[in-house]
Amino acid sequence: MDNTIALTVLQKHTPKRFNQRRLTIIYLTSAIVFLLAIAIIGTLAGEAAITTNFTQKNILPNISHPFGTDWLGRDMLARTLKGMSISILIGLLASVVSALIAVILGTAAATLGKKVDAVITWFIDLIMGIPHLLLLILISYALGRGTFGVIVAVAISHWPVLTRVIRGEILQLKEANYIKIAGKLGQSKVSIAMKHMVPHIFPQFLVGLVLLFPHAILHEAAITFLGFGLPPEQPGIGMILSESMQYLSLGMWWLALFPGLALLLTVLLFDLLGGSLRKLIDPHSAQD
């Protein structure tokens, strides 16, 4: 009788877990495909994004121009896709660099003794104590703005939170028996960290890397919108929104609406991608 009840309970819950996992995989795959499509199409649409046609100025959204055209006759769909592709590529580079910084500093803080931990923790508190947007503007301006300045500014200002997460994970991992045994067998701290600790925190690193993307994209767009980011000749999404502001009062609402929605959609997709990835590879959230 007990076996029958247990089998019934198992059959009741197994389809639900399977469906949740399958749905998560569908979300993850759809988000990846859509974001790759935006990046590839936007890269290929480089010429169309800057081509002017004064006979097609200020056209409302229609079949030929789904996002309308601007005051120079440039197709806003092409410009939006190009701007999003630039933002995605910048976000990717900046997030990878920032996540690598977080792994190095988080591992060092947790394994190299109290003095190193105190220095890194103080530096984390220092970075987090400065208003984020102000720090981005100062770094980007000091590096001469442009693509390089934006990437460096975003990369070296987004690592503190992930560093704290990785540091906490490694501090817990240090109490594991096999870590203590490895130390007693004469392995160095660096060797233990590289062989036993870094592979263990790879899921947290991967999820943290993906979740850094939306922040990187938004902050790149923000500092470019304020004039401290990408140059005018690069149709970044922040530049597109900045240029469209002076035409909103003339009733050209589509110049800001569609690029803004595209930016919002991309950020939400990256958030969905990170959440789905965490459910698949993080053992603590796999049961949700």
Residue 7: pLDDT band by 50, 70, 90 thresholds? very low
Contacts of 260 (CB under 8 A, 6+ apart): 241
User: Per-residue pLDDT averaged across 46-74, rounded?
Assistant: 84
pLDDT tens column, 234-251: 778 888 888 888 888 888
Note whether residue 58 is domain-resident. no
Say what the pLDDT of residue 186 is. 72
Note whether residue 205 is domain-resident. yes
Note whether residue 201 is domain-resident. yes
Which residue did the predictor score with more confidence, 277 or 126?
Answer: 126
CATH of the domain at 239: 1.10.3720.10
Say what the pLDDT of residue 170 is. 83
Residue percentage of the chain with pLDDT more than 90: 2
Cα torsion angle, 171, 173, 178, 182, sign: negative
| Domains: count for the chain | 1
- What is the rounded distance in angstroms from the CA atom of residue 72 to the CA atom of residue 235? 14
Note whether residue 131 is domain-resident. yes
In DSSP terms, which residues pair with 69 in a beta bridge?
Answer: 75
Note whether residue 18 is domain-resident. no
Note whether residue 36 is domain-resident. no
Note whether residue 92 is domain-resident. yes
Note whether residue 112 is domain-resident. yes
Q: How far is CA 45 from CA 55, 78, 79, 211, in A?
A: 20, 6, 8, 27
Host domain of residue 219: 43-50+74-281
